[in-house]
């Protein structure tokens, strides 16, 4: 359901509700964001989740482009593995994996996977660690069908 957009109403609601990019707890104890959007009761619509996903993947790709532009020459599976990795750890932490990154750039995928598996990160991320290492070492996507 699309609302009729009334700029005066929006200004009034911003005046009373605020305009907040970060979640906060409102006066009735509800987690709220934006202009009085009640996350506690209403959750986030799928269309907004998809928009946030697109934004997050775009940031991950831009980070890889800025740090290791060679990633675009990887096969699709290993490219996905790097996107998944930087999506998880962020640009700052990604930069600290210099040995892993060098091995990836050199095409030494078996060693790159072994280096990643030896990091503390690997033990902190549950099934993501083994899956990404496998993708890097084998060039094959994991079966995530759940069956």
Q: Can you give the pLDDT at residue 147?
A: 59
Tally of domains within the chain:
2
CATH at residue 50: 1.10.530.40
Q: In this structure, are 30 and 53 located in the same domain? A: no
Q: In this structure, are 36 and 106 located in the same domain? A: no
Q: In this structure, are 127 and 66 located in the same domain? A: yes
Exposure string of 27-50, with b = 16+ CB inside 10 Å and e = fewer, is eeeeebebeebeeeeeeeeeeeee
In this prediction the pTM is 0.85
Query: For residue 35, what are the CA distances in angstroms to 1, 42, 103?
Result: 18, 14, 47
pLDDT in tens, 103-136: 999 999 999 999 999 999 999 999 999 999 999 9
Please, which pLDDT band fits residue 4 given cuts at 50, 70 and 90?
confident
pLDDT in tens, 21-54: 999 999 999 999 999 999 999 999 999 999 999 9
**Domain span at residue 101?**
46-138
């Amino acid at each position: 359901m699309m609302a009729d957009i009334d700029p005066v109403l929006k200004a009034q609601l911003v005046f009373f509700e605020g305009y907040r990019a970060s979640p906060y707890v409102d006066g009735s104890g509800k987690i709220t964001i934006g202009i009085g959007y009640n996350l506690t009761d209403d959750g986030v619509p799928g269309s907004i989740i998809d928009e946030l996903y697109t934004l997050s993947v775009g940031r991950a790709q831009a980070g890889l482009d800025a740090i290791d532009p060679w990633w675009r020459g990887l096969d699709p599976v290993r490219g996905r593995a790097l996107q998944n990795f930087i999506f998880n750890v962020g640009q700052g932490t990604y930069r600290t994996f210099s040995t892993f990154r060098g091995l990836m750039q050199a095409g030494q995928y078996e060693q790159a996977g072994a280096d990643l598996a030896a990091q503390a990160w690997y033990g902190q991320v549950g099934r993501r660690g083994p899956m990404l290492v496998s993708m890097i070492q084998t060039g094959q996507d994991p079966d995530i069908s759940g069956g």
